[in-house]
Amino acid sequence: MNFEFSEEQDLLREQAQSFLNQHSPLDAVRAVLEGDQAYDAKLYAGMAELGWTATTIPEQYGGIGLGHLELCVIAEELGRSLAPTPFSSCIYLVSEALQLFGSDAQKQRYLPGLASGETIGAFALAEGPQPATAANLTSRVEGDALTGTKVPVADGDCANFAIVLAADADGGSLYLVDLDGPGVQRTTVETLDPTRSHASIEFSAAPAERLGEAGAGWLQTDRIFDRAAVLFAFEQVGGAHAALDMAKEYALGRFAFGRPIASFQAIKHKLADMYIAATLARSNCYYGAWALSTDAAELPVAAATARVSASQAFHECAKENIQTHGGMGFTWEFNCHLYYRRAKLLSVNLGSLPRWKNRLITNIETSNALSA
């Protein structure tokens, strides 16, 4: 059995860590939090230069055609560093969607730009504070024109194009829409995690080109989300471990009642529980990585398992990191809230935890995966 990453992949991890330590310190994350820019463009260009954006894109479309395990390694490090870039929208969602469902012409048109980091894509599904469903979706394509409003759209304000799920004569399909073209108005919206920028996009008869089969939009979205869930779960595990490390460092250095707070059992047990949650999540992520990289039939179950446990782990580690810091943890100045914000974003961005738990059990019911 070989259930760890290979030496080359570990090398990639080290390289990613040292690059991100240098180019994406928490100060850089904070600069995006407090500034006006949608993301750290210099950082993103550097990541593209290292080939991260090109990782899984085939060579014929300008990529380097590595496997998804490499992408998982990068995702964990991005999660650990909280890197403020549109990488996840472009790569976990849009590039995966194009590779799964795009025509050759669509791939030719969009993938090279994603691989080089020069174009940014966004995935637009949500329409306000509720789950988007076939029954309540109001964005609609008539002929080749899309009308409706999507909000929040991660990276919607800096993206050049979007993949949009919209109702149409066939029920619902995915569409490619040029965001710099006619019929598109976008405004940045305020979110709980301003280190990742989000927009409200209003389409008024914007030209739209279908991606994949007519009427298959919901099923395609499920498939895209299964794949993205594994990659986001690695970001969550990276974030969870970073929050745990931060809590530990603080607890070791902070004294109360004449001793380090790390010597109080309530703090020790809290951190032990954070470690347990993060370890379970990591192991589930490895299973997800295996399923993703081998296109296994188990992917829907593995992805939901990874997502549920990684969402829980990141939330637990982020909130208890604040608690461990006492009053300092509640200040804008300390970095604890950066993890807390990101944990919330990542636990709702592909649909909420209750929905993914339900989906996990549904996937087990339909796959008869009980032996797993």
Site for other proteins in 224-253 (CB under 8 A): 248, 251-252
User: How far apart are CB 224 and other proteins at their closest, in Å?
Assistant: 21
Q: Minimal distance in Å, beta carbon 279 to other proteins?
A: 5
CB of 288 to other proteins, least distance (A): 10
Site for other proteins in 292-311 (CB under 8 A): 293, 304-305, 308-309
Name the nearest CA neighbour of 164 among 122, 119, 115: 122
| 115: contact with other proteins by CB under 8 A | no
Strand partners, 260: 255
If binding is defined by CB under 8 A, does position 99 make contact with other proteins? Answer: no
Give the H/E segment covering residue 176. Answer: strand 173-178
CA distance between the termini of the chain = 16
Q: How is 178-216 classified by DSSP, letter by letter? A: ETTSTTEEEEEE--S-TTS-EEEEEEEEEEEEEESSTT-
Query: Does the protein bind other proteins through residue 130 (CB under 8 A)?
Result: no
> What angle do the packed helices 68-81 and 265-294 form, to 10 degrees?
150
- Looking at the DSSP assignment, which residues form a beta bridge with residue 189? 198
In the list 35, 60, 361, 366, the residue contacting other proteins (rule: CB under 8 A) is 361
Kindly tell me which residue out of 16, 29, 83, 281 binds other proteins, with binding defined by CB under 8 A: 281
Instruction: Pick between residue 130 and residue 265 the one whose CB is nearest to other proteins.
Output: 265
Of 39, 64, 37, whose CA–CA distance to 50 is shortest? 64
Given the rule CB under 8 A, which residues bind other proteins?
A: 1-5, 69, 248, 251-252, 259-260, 262-263, 265, 267-269, 271-273, 275-276, 279-281, 283-284, 286-287, 289-290, 293, 304-305, 308-309, 312, 354, 356-358, 360-361, 364-365, 370-372
